């Protein structure tokens, strides 16, 4: 993994030089983690454009006293400034070397209006310049270490679901909350540090609420049960949704399930390099619209996933950009019939040159539990 962090910093430096910045002040903690591997709760990073792998004397890492030991272990290769507030301390550190840090970019998508005031004060002669989203742009395309973490996160979730199905845990008489907890515990058994977001288990009419929180609602025969959940492994989030039926499916259930299943397959097939994110959303949406349920699909088709559960690119009618090999995204169309029930089917996949690589492998056939 440390090797990967060096490469990521190298790639960032190239972009910095293109933008004629001497350095980038990274304050988004996830971006710091991405570039260094540091997992504490407070840090900042100053990446100098002219440093190079093995000789990073002008690149510095900042955190506070709680993380002295941890940062020495996780970021041994960089100068460490142990002082609060970390971002201001790094800027002050740069301000002492004004000839080497003339123009320093900052993450204007992350630094607050008030935060910029205190950075500007610390900067003295250093010119701070907006440089929004540079690391996020880089993070859209996952490297091998990241895909491996995503694969493990997806596997933990897959295995947990298989366990529950094999043990008949999803059945009439149990509550949404019980099932959510069992899913989460099984994911921990399979190596997750935790759930990657609040597990959704939604039975019966609750399945028509796109983002439902598990309650003490008891599963009953004839219910749709929608499970939207994921595992967190090495900071990476998996995300999958499966919808089951308790007992024999009714005709309307078979119908909307089949529409969503086709839409999801269509969306997956559209997720190829060069595809506009809007067109991927459109491809799946068109299937649902043609079936007469267009208004029952009130959310985007999917989103990027990685160190955040929702990150760029967004596969939505409002999204921008095109897909590139190595992007990890979800594809998750749904149909929700208020008061009756809903279906969502979701995979996490990696865009590849040929067909996308699906990381969530549980069956998408209509499962009768």
For its own copies, the binding residues in 204-223 under the rule CB under 8 A are: 209-211, 213
Whole-angstrom Cα distance, residue 219 to residue 366? 17
Whole-angstrom Cα distance, residue 122 to residue 88? 6
Between 139 and 296, name the residue whose CB sits nearer to its own copies.
296
Between 42 and 138, name the residue whose CB sits nearer to its own copies.
42
Applying CB under 8 A, the span of 39-47, 163-171, 240-248, 263-271 interacting with its own copies comes to 39-47
Q: Which of 76, 113, 166, 365 binds its own copies (CB under 8 A)?
A: 113
SS3 346: strand
Between 66 and 254, name the residue whose CB sits nearer to its own copies.
66
The reply on whether position 114 binds its own copies by CB under 8 A is: yes
The reply on whether position 317 binds its own copies by CB under 8 A is: no
Compose the 128-167 pattern: x for residues touching its own copies by CB under 8 A, - for all others.
--x-x-----------------------------------
The reply on whether position 191 binds its own copies by CB under 8 A is: no
Q: Rounded to whole angstroms, what are the CA distances from 149 to 182, 201, 238, 322, 328?
A: 23, 25, 9, 24, 12
CA atoms within 13 A on the CB side of 255: 9
Applying CB under 8 A, the span of 14-22, 180-188, 254-262, 272-280 interacting with its own copies comes to 180-188
Whole-angstrom Cα distance, residue 344 to residue 250? 17
Size of the residue set binding its own copies (CB under 8 A): 34
CA atoms within 13 A on the CB side of 346: 31
The reply on whether position 66 binds its own copies by CB under 8 A is: yes
Whole-angstrom Cα distance, residue 286 to residue 282? 6
Question: E strands along 151-247, which residues?
Answer: 194-195, 200-203, 224-229, 231-233, 236-237, 240-245
Q: Which residues bind its own copies (CB under 8 A)?
A: 39-41, 65-70, 84, 108-116, 130, 132, 181, 185, 188, 194, 198, 209-211, 213, 298-299, 318, 338
């Amino acid at each position: 993994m440390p090797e990967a962090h060096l490469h990521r910093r190298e790639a960032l430096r190239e972009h910095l030089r293109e933008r004629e910045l001497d350095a980038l002040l990274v304050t988004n903690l996830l971006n710091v983690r991405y570039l260094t591997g540091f997992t504490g709760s407070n840090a900042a990073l100053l990446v100098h454009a002219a440093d190079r792998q093995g000789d990073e004397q002008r690149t510095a890492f900042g955190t506070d006293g709680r993380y002295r030991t941890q940062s020495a272990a996780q970021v041994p290769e960089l100068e460490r400034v142990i002082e609060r507030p970390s971002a201001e301390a790094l800027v002050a550190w740069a301000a002492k070397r004004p000839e080497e840090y003339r123009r320093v970019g900052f993450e204007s998508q992350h630094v607050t209006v008030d935060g910029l005031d205190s950075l500007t004060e610390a900067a003295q002669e250093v010119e701070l310049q907006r440089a929004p989203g540079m690391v996020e742009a880089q993070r859209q395309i996952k490297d091998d270490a990241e895909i491996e973490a995503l694969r493990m996160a997806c596997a933990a979730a897959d295995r947990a679901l298989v366990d529950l199905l094999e043990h008949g845990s999803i059945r009439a008489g149990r509550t949404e909350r019980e099932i959510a907890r069992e899913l989460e515990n099984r994911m921990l058994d399979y190596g997750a540090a935790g759930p990657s977001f609040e597990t959704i288990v939604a039975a019966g009419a609750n399945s028509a609420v796109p983002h439902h929180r598990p309650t003490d609602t008891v599963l009953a025969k004839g219910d749709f049960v929608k499970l939207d959940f994921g595992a967190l492994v090495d900071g990476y989030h998996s995300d999958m949704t499966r919808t089951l039926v308790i007992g024999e499916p009714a005709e309307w259930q078979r119908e909307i399930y089949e529409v969503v299943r086709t839409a999801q397959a269509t969306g997956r097939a559209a997720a190829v390099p060069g595809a506009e994110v809007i067109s991927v959303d459109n491809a799946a949406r068109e299937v649902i619209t043609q079936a007469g349920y267009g208004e029952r699909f009130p959310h985007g088709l999917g989103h990027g996933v990685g160190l955040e559960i929702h990150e760029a690119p967004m596969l939505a009618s409002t999204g921008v950009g095109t897909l590139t090999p190595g992007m990890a995204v979800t594809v998750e169309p749904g149909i929700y019939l208020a008061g009756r029930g809903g279906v969502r089917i979701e995979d996490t996949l990696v865009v590849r040159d040929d067909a996308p690589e699906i990381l969530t492998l549980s069956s998408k056939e209509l499962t009768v539990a």
